[in-house]
Structure 1
Amino acid sequence: MRANRLVSLVLLLRQRGRLSAATLARELEVSTRTVLRDVEALSAAGVPVYAERGRHGGFALLPDFRTDLTGLNHDEALALLVAGSQRGAQVFGLGSALASAMLKVVDALPESYRDTAAGVAERLLVDPGTDLLSRRLVTEEVPDTVVTEVRRAVLAGHRLRIHYAAVDQAPKWRTVDPVGLVTVRDQGYLLATRSGEDRTYRLSRVLAAEELDEPAQRPDRVDLDRAWRERSTRFRTGGDQVAVLVRVDPARREDLVSTALSVRAEEADPDGWLRLDVTFQDSRHAEWALWQLATSAEALTPQWLRDSLRDRAAAIATRYGASST
């Protein structure tokens, strides 16, 4: 770990010039004291890093210094393979490896391309942390120790023990045969089999994980995209799903459809609104989805959903009907 950090420190100085100890500490996710120790170690190893004093001082390398530091380790190469989505790298616990790998890739570019690449990178931003309404995009937190064990078992083809907290159940240990990892909208999932049956586990609900020595019982090859589609289809067509007949303003149709599991039928009403027969995962999902649409939609059936939405609206009206104190 320290060797990779020393390499990253040198590459940061090569690509960005003079940097303060505080900046290096932030980039490397360590303390300033660790940065100072690392600089001393580099100097002792013959790397020409020197300190510049003063208000705008910091650490820098002698001009034209170059050494062969661009070899990628296993996790860095893997991070580049999932770098199509930087958030995917974060979900799979490869965020720091991705940052380190990108430093090495930039350093490996011919000098004539390096400055251009840095300038281009400054003008491209993928998946920022907030949207235009300043709403923070929340990524589920999964401990590094958990995601690392899960990832190792998946890639090595070993069986895996997980301490899993299913919805409305007490956590318990399970031994599974991992198939692959999937990230959807910043949520990570483990696709696995258990006693020969397909299982899908949400990574944020894995409390602990342990890679076992025994090989996983799984095919040598897998079409992960197809496997995910098949499991998604089974999820949408099973369980305690709720069918709802809804009238919706055409301007909000996509908002409704994007939250529903499926649209079973659709037709236009004489007043221009649309009438859709949609399904939701369960009663809570149905109530939540219709509540988001406010007066732009009306649930026609089932009656219990109409009653629930009416009662919620009445409670809100009562709360705001009273004078504030």
Structure 2
Amino acid sequence: MRADRLVSLVLLLRQRGRMTADELAGELEVSARTVLRDIDSLSTAGVPVYADRGRHGGFSLLPGFRTELTGLNHEEALALLTAGSGRGEQVFGLSTALASAMRKVVDALPEGHRSNLDEASMRFLVEPETDLLSRREASEEVAGAVMAQVRRAVLTGHKLRFLYAAPDKEPRWHTVDPIGLVTVRGRTYLLATKSDADRTYRLSRVLEAEELSEPAERRGQVDLDRIWAERSARFLSKNHLSVLVRVNPTRQDELLKTARAVRAQEREADGWVRLEVTFEDLRHAVWALWQLDTDAEVLAPDSLRSALRDRAAALVFRYEGS
């Protein structure tokens, strides 16, 4: 880890020029004292780092100290920087590693490709936290220590033991054979098997986790796309309410954000969109569709139509008359 930090320190100085110990400490997430020790180590190893004293002083590298990655063109580097921007860098707890990798990529580019690359990457924004209506994207926090243990078990192929808090149940310990990690709409899931049975766990509900030394029982090759699709289909077929609804296209996105899944979609002659969507249960469906007011019409099931009608009638009765 220290070797990576030393490399990152050199790259920061290469790309930004003079930086103070406090600025370097903030970027590397260490103390200023650690930065000073690292500077001494680099100097001892022959890296041309020098200090400027005074109010506007700091540390710098002698010009020309660099390596180049000639096989990467400008557009390829821009694609990497764009992919690493925004909330995507937080996925699976790899933000620090990604920031370090991006510094190495930029530093290794030939001078001609590196010109204006930072400015170009600022012109693209990937998945901001809010949309045009100022609605924040729902996301779940996963403890860093938990993510580190889960990620390590997935990559090393070891069994994983963790304390899981399922809804409305007391937390319980589980020991599983991890398969992989999937992130969807700000939520991260662990795909695993337990006693040869498929299991899917939401990582935000994991309170503690421990990678075990025992090898996991799993195949060498894995197709996460296929596995996720199969588990999603099974999940949606159990204990979920299927709803057929017409919606004004201007409110379609609102409906899709509250629905658990979309099974079918087609545009009707009047411009409205007919959708077959699933909700967790009747209560969830009533809540979601009530938000759309008269811009949505439930066609089926009758139980949902009745529930919405009864709620509307109760509201009319409440406000009828003076």
With structure 1 as the length reference, what TM-score do the two structures score?
Answer: 0.79
The whole-number CA distance in structure 2 between the counterparts of 1:310 and 1:161 is 52
Question: Residue type matched to 1:304 in 2?
Answer: A
Root mean square deviation, CA, Å: 3.4
Would the alpha carbon gap of residues 85 and 266 (structure 1) be closer, same or farther in structure 2, given more than 3 Å must change?
same
Task: Describe the superposition over 1:78-128 as per-residue Cα deviations: whole angstroms up to 9, x where unpaired.
Answer: xx8xx6786454221111011111212222222332335444333333233
The whole-number CA distance in structure 2 between the counterparts of 1:266 and 1:227 is 27
SS state at 2:218 partner: coil
Q: Which residue of 2 aligns with 1:8?
A: 8
SS state at 1:238 partner: coil
Larger displacement relative to structure 2 (197-206 or 284-293): 284-293
| Cα offset, 1:305, TM superposition | 4.4
- 1:281-320 to structure 2, matched below 5 A, reads 281-299=280-298, 301-302=302-303, 303-308=306-311
1:95 is aligned to 2:95: yes
Instruction: Give the number of equivalent residue pairs.
Output: 303
1:232 is aligned to 2:235: no
Task: Describe the superposition over 1:243-272 as per-residue Cα deviations: whole angstroms up to 9, x where unpaired.
Answer: 445453343345435543345697969x87
The whole-number CA distance in structure 2 between the counterparts of 1:314 and 1:25 is 64
Question: Residue type matched to 2:109 in 1?
Answer: L
SS state at 2:189 partner: strand
Q: Which residue of 2 aligns with 1:248?
A: 247
| Cα offset, 1:219, TM superposition | 1.8
Structure 1 stretches lacking a partner, 5+ long:
69-79, 319-325
Structure 2 stretches lacking a partner, 5+ long:
69-79
Task: Describe the superposition over 1:185-227 as per-residue Cα deviations: whole angstroms up to 9, x where unpaired.
Answer: 2211111111111111111111111112222222221111011
Residue pair 2:154, 2:180 contacting (<8 A) in 1 also: yes
Residue pair 2:159, 2:176 contacting (<8 A) in 1 also: yes
1:191 is aligned to 2:191: yes
Would the alpha carbon gap of residues 272 and 129 (structure 1) be closer, same or farther in structure 2, given more than 3 Å must change?
closer
The whole-number CA distance in structure 1 between the counterparts of 2:155 and 2:85 is 19
Question: Residue type matched to 1:144 in 2?
Answer: G
Residue pair 1:150, 1:160 contacting (<8 A) in 2 also: yes
The whole-number CA distance in structure 2 between the counterparts of 1:85 and 1:309 is 45
Residue pair 1:247, 1:275 contacting (<8 A) in 2 also: yes
Q: Which residue of 2 aligns with 1:48?
A: 48
Identity %: 63
Question: Residue type matched to 1:151 in 2?
Answer: R
Q: Which residue of 2 aligns with 1:76?
A: none
Would the alpha carbon gap of residues 222 and 86 (structure 1) be closer, same or farther in structure 2, given more than 3 Å must change?
farther
- 1:59-78 to structure 2, matched below 5 A, reads 59-66=59-66
| Cα offset, 1:156, TM superposition | 1.5
| Cα offset, 1:313, TM superposition | 9.3
SS state at 2:139 partner: coil
Q: Which residue of 2 aligns with 1:28?
A: 28
The whole-number CA distance in structure 2 between the counterparts of 1:280 and 1:120 is 42
The whole-number CA distance in structure 2 between the counterparts of 1:267 and 1:170 is 46
Would the alpha carbon gap of residues 124 and 54 (structure 1) be closer, same or farther in structure 2, given more than 3 Å must change?
farther
The whole-number CA distance in structure 2 between the counterparts of 1:125 and 1:221 is 34
Q: Which residue of 1 aligns with 2:71?
A: none
Residue pair 2:52, 2:58 contacting (<8 A) in 1 also: yes
- 1:77-226 to structure 2, matched below 5 A, reads 87-226=87-226
The whole-number CA distance in structure 2 between the counterparts of 1:184 and 1:159 is 24
The whole-number CA distance in structure 2 between the counterparts of 1:272 and 1:152 is 50
Question: Residue type matched to 1:108 in 2?
Answer: A
SS state at 1:92 partner: helix
Residue pair 1:88, 1:186 contacting (<8 A) in 2 also: no
SS state at 2:115 partner: helix
Would the alpha carbon gap of residues 2 and 312 (structure 1) be closer, same or farther in structure 2, given more than 3 Å must change?
farther
Residue pair 2:163, 2:171 contacting (<8 A) in 1 also: yes
